[in-house]
């Protein structure tokens, strides 16, 4: 049965019963009322008139006789019982005689007898009628009690059954919805019958079934996707490691396991930081991530790893994965992916190139030295005087040979830098001495362009802890650049200053300057500002940076296009 029908029937029945109870009660009360009224009007009044007649007859004054007359008239109009008519008629007859002879005791006696008869009749009637009223009252009590009991029974049944009939399915349904919310899609509800709850249960079960199907199909899809991604990562030749935000390993491919000497089943879910305690490679890889203050991409030098009985070089790329959670606007770090790119082949090629350049430059040195020596011999008057044209030719060969020597020197230095073999031997050195050496080395070059040096150097400067040979080479290179990129007849300002525990050697020119977009690149190997007319290799500043930084110093540039450039070398002072 439907809930609505149940409720309508229950409440309707109750309503009908209450109505019935009301009607029964009202009917009986009405009957009782009419019974009492009947006694009052029909019999009580007759008794009253009879009583009046009996008391008035004792003193038959004309006034009392009139009153008696009135009471007899009233009695005549209030005949209700069988036999009362005759008794009243007798009373009338006797009274008529009494009016003419008030002293006749026989008549008085007869009147009294008639009145007594009337009174007796009415008394009996009152008794009979009150008996009837009593029966009616008992009947009323019975039927009202019956109706009230039925009412109570129905109301009690409804009270016990109806709330649980409605509340129990709702409770079961709420629990089932909760189960579905907790992703237990196998949950079903079982309400029998054709009530609204039965229909609700069928709809709920259909929904749960569809959700179950959807979930299992999604799960299957996700599993396939997961497998696909895992296979993809595993088949990649580059080692890849995935970490969550707490640095636990969430995936790692075969290549990464191989080079790290780890076992898959053991590693997944492990903390990379815990693994790093005993694994050098993992420690090296997570070093910058674990140091959380530096989450920027870090382009480090290739990592040398010995695995599979051979040395390999890898370039590390760390990706920090951020997502914006649903409903939020702020990005959240959810993990890191470390990709190692195998650059062994390039590294080997690079090494071969470096070795080749080193060998060639080294081999070039001897013939160049012999050319320089021959030129010096040619300039010697004892060998024979040269005419002007020959002198000019010799000068030009000398210039080219100097340039060749410079390039060879730079290439040799570069091979040292590239192979990581910079040998630094630091000693306390007077910075002024190094600057003087550089000035001396570039003097001829400056004179050719009629460029003057202005040196500013305070007295009693502390010495610097440096490799004097390499720093002097750097200063020579900086001054040489300043001369090359300055206009004729200009001035180059050379200064040495002290700042805290450092000595700063600056080379300032008033030449063409360097555009801002190139200032960050001029220290890169083989970089030359586009459209630079002067010859060069683009190696001088790169080597200078390596030489200075290898000693723990710094080299920097400040430049404005069209105004000039200032190169500064900062070295540690000996205190």
Contact residues toward ligand ADP (CB under 6 A) are 481-482, 485, 509, 511-512, 514, 522, 528-529, 532, 536-542, 565
Length of the chain: 575
- Do residues 132 and 35 touch, judged by C-beta distance below 8 A? yes
Distance of alpha carbon 237 from alpha carbon 203, whole angstroms: 53
Q: What is the token pair recorded at 423?
A: 């040998």
Q: Which is nearer to ligand ADP, 312 or 519 (CB)?
A: 519
Distance of alpha carbon 506 from alpha carbon 496, whole angstroms: 6
Q: Which is nearer to ligand ADP, 42 or 472 (CB)?
A: 472
Distance of alpha carbon 575 from alpha carbon 463, whole angstroms: 8
Distance of alpha carbon 264 from alpha carbon 83, whole angstroms: 126
- Do residues 22 and 214 touch, judged by C-beta distance below 8 A? no
Q: Which is nearer to ligand ADP, 60 or 536 (CB)?
A: 536
Q: Which is nearer to ligand ADP, 441 or 574 (CB)?
A: 441
State the nearest-atom distance from the C-beta of 553 to ligand ADP, in Å: 17
In DSSP terms, 505 is beta-bridged to 496, 569
Distance of alpha carbon 336 from alpha carbon 259, whole angstroms: 19
Q: Which is nearer to ligand ADP, 10 or 513 (CB)?
A: 513
State the nearest-atom distance from the C-beta of 573 to ligand ADP, in Å: 25
Chain CA centroid to CA 456, Å: 62
Query: Where do the H-state alpha helices sit in 419-527?
Result: 431-448, 468-484, 516-519
Q: Which is nearer to ligand ADP, 302 or 409 (CB)?
A: 409
CA 208, 213, 214, 219 torsion-angle sign: positive
Q: Which is nearer to ligand ADP, 342 or 486 (CB)?
A: 486
Could you please report the per-residue DSSP string of 494-517? EEEEEETTEEEEEEE--SS---HH
State the nearest-atom distance from the C-beta of 564 to ligand ADP, in Å: 7
Q: Which is nearer to ligand ADP, 169 or 540 (CB)?
A: 540
CB burial of 368-384 (b: ≥16 within 10 Å; e: otherwise) equals beebbeebeebeeeeee
Chain CA centroid to CA 177, Å: 25
State the nearest-atom distance from the C-beta of 493 to ligand ADP, in Å: 12
State the nearest-atom distance from the C-beta of 505 to ligand ADP, in Å: 15
Residue number with the smallest Cβ distance to ligand ADP: 536
Phi, then psi, of 332 in degrees rounded to 5? -130, 135
State the nearest-atom distance from the C-beta of 460 to ligand ADP, in Å: 30
State the nearest-atom distance from the C-beta of 503 to ligand ADP, in Å: 21
Q: Which is nearer to ligand ADP, 165 or 537 (CB)?
A: 537
State the nearest-atom distance from the C-beta of 241 to ligand ADP, in Å: 38
User: Helix (H, G, I), strand (E, B), or coil: what is residue 171?
Assistant: helix
Of 155, 189, 183, 184, nearest in space to 171 by CA:
189
State the nearest-atom distance from the C-beta of 545 to ligand ADP, in Å: 9
Tally Cβ neighbours within 10 Å of residue 526. 9
513 in the Ramachandran plot: left (φ > 0), alpha (ψ -120 to 50) or beta?
left
Q: Which is nearer to ligand ADP, 338 or 542 (CB)?
A: 542
Distance of alpha carbon 361 from alpha carbon 543, whole angstroms: 16
Of 173, 149, 136, 151, nearest in space to 13 by CA:
151
Q: Which is nearer to ligand ADP, 60 or 538 (CB)?
A: 538
2 in the Ramachandran plot: left (φ > 0), alpha (ψ -120 to 50) or beta?
beta
State the nearest-atom distance from the C-beta of 557 to ligand ADP, in Å: 8
Output DSSP code: residue 40.
I
Q: What is the token pair recorded at 66?
A: 């009139």
Q: Which is nearer to ligand ADP, 198 or 538 (CB)?
A: 538
Q: Which is nearer to ligand ADP, 267 or 542 (CB)?
A: 542
State the nearest-atom distance from the C-beta of 433 to ligand ADP, in Å: 23
Q: Which is nearer to ligand ADP, 198 or 536 (CB)?
A: 536
Q: Which is nearer to ligand ADP, 342 or 481 (CB)?
A: 481
State the nearest-atom distance from the C-beta of 533 to ligand ADP, in Å: 9
State the nearest-atom distance from the C-beta of 517 to ligand ADP, in Å: 12
- Do residues 98 and 53 touch, judged by C-beta distance below 8 A? no
State the nearest-atom distance from the C-beta of 568 to ligand ADP, in Å: 12
On the 0-12 / 13-18 / 19+ scale of CB atoms within 10 A, 106 is exposed
State the nearest-atom distance from the C-beta of 499 to ligand ADP, in Å: 22
At which residue do the structure tokens 């309503």 appear? Answer: 15
Phi, then psi, of 552 in degrees rounded to 5? 90, 10
HSE value, Cβ hemisphere, 13 Å, CA-based, for 129: 22
- Do residues 475 and 507 touch, judged by C-beta distance below 8 A? yes
């Amino acid at each position: 049965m439907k809930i609505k029908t149940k409720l309508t029937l229950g409440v309707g029945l109750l309503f009908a019963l209450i109505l019935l109870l009301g009607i029964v009660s009202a009917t009986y009360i009405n009957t009782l009322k009419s019974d009492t009224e009947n006694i009052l009007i029909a019999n009580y009044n007759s008794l009253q008139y009879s009583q009046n007649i009996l008391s008035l007859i004792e003193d038959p004054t004309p006034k009392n006789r009139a009153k008696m007359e009135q009471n007899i008239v009233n009695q005549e109009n209030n005949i209700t019982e069988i036999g009362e008519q005759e008794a009243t008629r007798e009373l009338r007859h006797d009274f008529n005689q009494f009016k003419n002879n008030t002293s006749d005791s026989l008549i008085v006696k007869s009147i009294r007898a008639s009145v007594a008869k009337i009174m007796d009749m009415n008394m009996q009637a009152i008794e009979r009628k009150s008996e009837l009223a009593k029966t009616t009252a008992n009947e009323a009590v019975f039927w009202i009690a019956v109706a009230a009991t039925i009412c109570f029974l129905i109301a009690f049944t409804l009270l016990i059954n109806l709330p649980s009939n409605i509340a129990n399915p709702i409770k079961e349904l709420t629990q089932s919805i909760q189960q579905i919310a907790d992703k237990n899609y196998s949950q079903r509800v079982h309400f029998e019958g054709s009530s609204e709850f039965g229909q609700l249960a069928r709809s709920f079960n259909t929904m749960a079934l569809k959700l179950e199907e959807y979930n299992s199909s999604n799960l299957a899809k996700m599993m396939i996707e997961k497998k696909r991604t895992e296979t993809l990562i595993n088949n990649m030749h580059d080692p890849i490691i995935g970490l969550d935000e707490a640095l636990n390993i969430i995936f790692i491919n075969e290549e990464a396991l191989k080079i790290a000497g780890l076992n898959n089943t053991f590693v997944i879910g492990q903390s990379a930081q815990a693994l790093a305690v005993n694994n050098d490679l993992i420690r090296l890889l997570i070093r910058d991530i674990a140091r959380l203050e530096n989450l920027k991409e870090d382009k480090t030098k290739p990592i040398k790893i010995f695995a599979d009985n051979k040395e390999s070089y890898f370039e590390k790329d760390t990706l920090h994965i951020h997502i914006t959670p649903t409903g939020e606007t702020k990005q959240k770090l959810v993990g890191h992916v470390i990709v190692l790119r195998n650059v062994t082949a390039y590294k080997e090629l690079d090494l071969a190139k470096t070795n080749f350049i080193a060998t060639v430059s080294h081999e070039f040195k001897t013939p160049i030295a012999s050319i320089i020596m021959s030129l010096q011999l040619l300039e010697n008057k004892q060998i024979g005087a040269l005419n002007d044209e020959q002198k000019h030719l010799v000068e030009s060969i000398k210039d080219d040979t100097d340039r060749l020597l410079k390039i060879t020197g730079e290439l040799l230095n570069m091979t040292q830098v590239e192979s990581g073999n910079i040998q630094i031997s630091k000693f306390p050195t007077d910075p002024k001495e190094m600057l003087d050496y550089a000035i001396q080395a570039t003097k001829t070059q400056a004179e050719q362009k009629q460029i003057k040096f202005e040196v500013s150097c305070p007295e009693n400067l502390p010495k610097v802890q440096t490799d004097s040979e390499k720093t002097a080479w750097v200063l020579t290179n900086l001054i040489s650049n300043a001369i090359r990129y300055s206009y004729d007849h200009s001035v180059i300002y050379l200064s040495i200053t002290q700042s805290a525990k450092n000595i700063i050697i600056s080379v300032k020119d008033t030449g063409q300057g360097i555009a801002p977009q190139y200032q960050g690149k001029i220290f890169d190997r083989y970089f030359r500002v586009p459209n630079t007319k002067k010859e060069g290799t683009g190696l001088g500043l790169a080597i200078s940076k390596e030489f200075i930084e290898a000693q723990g110093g710094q080299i920097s540039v400040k430049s404005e296009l069209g105004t000039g450039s200032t190169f500064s070398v900062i070295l540690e002072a000996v205190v």
